[in-house]
């Protein structure tokens, strides 16, 4: 299962992508994370439902100095298979 997340708040310039990548790799999640031009962060995450639920709990809290104000989640319509978790620019 692959989910798409869009995280809003103070999530750029606070190492949000870096710590999200670390958490995803720790949980065995594959996918990607990148900053969007509107100041939000976009995440594709692939794993089983239980693991993605744990990952979403991490996203709600956010790492370190981040402030998560809103998370949108939807089923991802992707045709590619992720082999790792990547930080994209």
Q: Which residue has the tokens 């708040």?
A: 9
Alpha carbon distances (Å) from 39 to 3, 51, 84? 20, 27, 24
pLDDT in tens, the chain (89 residues): 999 999 999 999 999 999 999 999 999 999 999 999 999 999 999 999 999 999 999 999 998 899 999 999 999 987 778 899 999 98
> Which H or E run contains 39?
none
Enter the tokens of residue 69: 């104000």
Sign of the four-CA dihedral 86, 20, 72, 37: negative
Residues with active-site annotation: 17, 35
Q: Map out the domains of the chain with their CATH numbers.
A: 2-88 (3.30.70.100)
Q: Can you give 54-66 as a three-state secondary structure string?
A: HHHHHHHHCCCCC
């Amino acid at each position: 299962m692959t989910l798409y997340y869009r995280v809003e708040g103070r999530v750029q310039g606070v190492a949000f992508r870096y710590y999200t990548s670390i958490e995803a790799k720790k949980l065995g999640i594959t996918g990607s994370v990148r900053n969007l031009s509107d100041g939000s962060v976009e995440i594709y995450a692939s794993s089983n439902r239980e693991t993605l639920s744990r990952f979403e709990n991490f996203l709600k809290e956010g790492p370190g100095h981040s402030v998560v104000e809103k998370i949108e989640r939807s089923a991802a319509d992707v045709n590619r298979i992720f082999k790792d978790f990547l930080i994209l620019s």
